[in-house]
Structure formats: C-alpha cells, structure tokens
Amino acid sequence: MENLLIKYKNGFRIKNSLSNLYLYLEEIQSSEGGKTYQLGAELNPNNTVWKLREAEGGYVYIKISTPVGDFYLTCTENNNIESGKFIGGDNQKFIVQSRGKDLFIIRTKISQNKYVIELKDKKIGINDKVKQAISKHSPEQHWIFEPIENKIKLKAANPNMETKHEKVVKTVVYKGDELVHTIVYVK
C-alpha cells in the first residue's frame, strides 16, 4: 500500500476501463437552493482529482477535495457508492488491488473484501450507477488510475522556448487474469 501512497501522492483520476468514463464529484443545486455533492461519471468532467489516505490494516480512504471540504467514497444502502463526509467507518475503507500497471480493482471492507466498485454502463447519470458488486474480474470492475504529475518547468537557455508537458498513457485489457492487449500513447 505504501507504494500506492507514494506513487499517487499528487492525486489521480479514476477511469473505468469498460466505459472510459471518469469518476467525479458533481455539485447539484437542489430545488430548495442548497447544494449537494454526488458521484457521477463523464468523459472529461471537473472535480476528478482523488487522493488516497491511509487507514489501518492495509486499507485506504479515497477522497476528493473541494472548496467546501473533503468528500470520501462511501458504501451506502443497496450497495451504492456515494460521496460523504469523513466518518472513518468500514463503509469508507477500501483495498486497492493491482491488475497491472495503473489498472486496479477497488475492494470494499464493509463486504469483507468480497465486493468491488463497478460502473455497469456508459449511461450518464448521477449516483445510481456506481455500485459495489461481487468481484467477477470483469471490465466494468477495473479502474485505470491516471496519476497527476507535478508540472515541471524547464529552464532553457532560450527564454522564448515553450514548456512542453507530455504524459505517457498505457491502457491494458484483461480476460480473466490474462493480459490480452496493451496500448501505449503520448498525450
């Protein structure tokens, strides 16, 4: 777990390997004028930088910071995964298990690690599609962690030289436990 905490210390984006949608926190304006924060999934949303926070026994909390405070992935009734304020209970503890470079399954402690987080379909909606379910090693249960890298400013002899940031992205596809396909490209 320590390697993950170090590797993703600047944060990461969580993308579902089946749908290619990012897990994000959406601010919703209620009819009463109040604001609520709910999980959603879109192609390129805002509010997508998540961080790991260590919990005891090899578990982690997965949080996102907003101007109004931190929100944590939280298991709720009917196996839903929602956002919530920190309470430190088993319903907010997860084991992040590697399935290959930057590809993971996220097991829930509240289920004694039998359930994992999944995103069943590509349909855009709020809160009703991010769930926990029995681990089947299927693509909707695989998550790509895209690390947020520090921007490095290049000091050049020529002050007119532009700074260029490139990111190598690797996507892997599994069939069961077997690696089937790897795609590497530069963004």
51-98 pLDDT, tens digit per residue, is 999 999 999 999 999 888 899 999 988 888 888 999 999 999 999 999
Amino acid occupying residue 158: N
> What is the rounded average pLDDT for all residues in the chain?
78
Task: Specify the DSSP element, H or E, that contains 2.
Answer: helix 2-7
What is the structure's pLDDT at 31? 55
Residue 25 has pLDDT above 80, yes or no: yes
Residue 186 burial (C-beta neighbours within 10 Å; 0-12, 13-18, 19+): exposed
Joined together, the tokens standing for residue 12 give 């990461």
Give the model's confidence band at 112: pLDDT under 50 very low, under 70 low, under 90 confident, else very high. very high
Neighbouring CB atoms inside 10 A of 141's CB total 25
The answer to whether residue 162 scores a pLDDT higher than 80 is no
Q: At residue 164, what is the residue type?
A: K
**To 5 degrees, how large is the angle CA 20–CA 10–CA 70?**
80
Question: Is there a contact between 132 and 115 (Cβ–Cβ < 8 Å)?
Answer: yes
At 157 the pLDDT is 47
Residue 5, pLDDT score: 87
